[in-house]
């Protein structure tokens, strides 16, 4: 199956610093990628849709100036958590759909666990 | 906006018992997907349902899509300890954007 990688797999940072998370589709091109956040024992909450070559589309309640998304190429999207605070600590997961016909299968990255001290 | 509700939130079963999780959307869906997430892991795609009234089987797992394309269910027959995890439904109203249900966490006691 298709592979999506994420880097780093975990990061611990001090409050006020910025953290960049990379999401790569390794064996297919993805013009669209999605960023989710998952708090412990909760569901995946869609944060934003990353669009290659254009601005990301953010879900209601997600601060676009705090969560900067850049989809620089057909295989790479980055999420930068700016001025991170402890409440931003979460599991961040990206996904990339590889639409084939009517199949809407999404391939998820392994996730990045962010801990802000 | 589109909402996807899923019940139950969690379920404890004895190994060998059956398990069902239900998903309901506030709007008609183009398709619905099911994912499984093991503890500490990331969601893994199980299946996608597209047609009204569709039923698909994968070994002990049976997936159904409602006639109105607003609800779906996943049924596991004779659960095993390897079935442990959280099962998510995820609905799409069209395109790739997908909204996840809250998930049902399955605990299986040997």
Residue B38: predicted pLDDT: 93
CB < 8 Å to A43, chain B = 88, 100-103
Residues of A in contact with B44 (CB under 8 A): 108
The DSSP string of chain A is ---EEEE-SEEEE-TT--EEEEEEESSS--SEEEEEEE-TTS-EEEEEEEETTS--EEPTT--TTTEEEEEEETTEEEEEE-S--GGG-EEEEEEEE--BTTB--EEE---EEEEE-
How much is the average pLDDT of A13-26? 96
Cβ count within 10 A of residue A14 = 8
Q: Give chain B's residues under pLDDT 50.
A: none
**B88/A44 touch (CB, cutoff 8 Å), yes or no:** yes
- What is the arithmetic mean of pLDDT over A63-81? 94
**So what's the pLDDT on residue A102?**
58
A101 has pLDDT over 70: no
Q: Is A111 on the interface with B (CB under 8 A)?
A: yes
Residue A86 burial by CB count (10 A; 0-12/13-18/19+): exposed, middle or buried? exposed
Q: Two tokens at B66?
A: 């409602």
Angle at alpha carbon of residue B63, lines to B48 and B102, rounded to 5°:
75
What pLDDT sits at residue A45? 92
pLDDT tens figures, B94-110:
777 888 999 999 999 99
The predicted structure's pLDDT at residue A40 = 84
In sign, the C-alpha dihedral spanning B79, B38, B55, B59 is negative
Query: Which residue stretches of chain B are H helix?
Result: none
pLDDT at position B98: 84
- Give B-chain residues touching A95 at CB under 8 angstroms: 43
Distance CA B55, CA B76 (A): 13
Q: Output the furthest CA–CA distance in chain B (Å, rounded).
A: 41
Write out the two tokens for A26.
Answer: 């390794």
CB-based contact A105 B1, cutoff 8 Å: no
β-pair type (A90-97, A112-116):
antiparallel
- Most B CBs within 10 Å, among A43, A58, A112, to test the B interface: A43
Q: Is the peptide bond before B8 cis (omega within 30 degrees of 0)?
A: yes
Q: Identify the weakest region by mean pLDDT among A6-10, A30-34, A102-106, A109-113.
A: A102-106
Chain B nearest CA to A8, separation (Å): 15
Smallest CA–CA distance, residue B78 to chain A, in Å, is 25
Peptide bond into A8 cis (omega under 30): yes
């Amino acid at each position: 199956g298709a592979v999506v990688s994420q880097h780093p797999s975990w990061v611990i940072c001090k409050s006020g610093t910025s953290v960049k998370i990379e999401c790569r589709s390794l064996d297919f091109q993805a013009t669209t990628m999605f960023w989710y956040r998952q708090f412990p024992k909760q569901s995946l909450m869609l944060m934003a849709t990353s669009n290659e070559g254009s601005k990301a589309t953010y879900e209601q309640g997600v601060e676009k100036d705090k969560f900067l998304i850049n989809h620089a190429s057909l295989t790479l999207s980055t999420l930068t958590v700016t001025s991170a605070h402890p409440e931003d600590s979460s599991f961040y997961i990206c996904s990339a759909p590889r639409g084939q016909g009517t199949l809407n299968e999404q391939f998820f990255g392994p996730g990045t666990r962010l801990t802000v001290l | 906006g589109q909402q996807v509700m899923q019940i139950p939130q969690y379920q404890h079963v004895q190994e060998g018992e059956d398990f069902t999780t239900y998903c309901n959307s506030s709007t008609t869906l183009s398709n619905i997907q099911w994912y499984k997430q093991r503890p500490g892991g990331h969601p893994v795609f199980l299946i996608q349902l597209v047609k009204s009234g569709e039923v698909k089987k994968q070994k002990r797992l049976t997936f159904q899509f409602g006639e109105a394309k607003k609800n779906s269910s996943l049924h596991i027959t004779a659960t095993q300890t390897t079935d442990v995890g959280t099962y998510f439904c995820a609905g799409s109203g069209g395109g790739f954007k997908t909204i996840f249900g809250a998930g049902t966490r399955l605990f299986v006691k040997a």
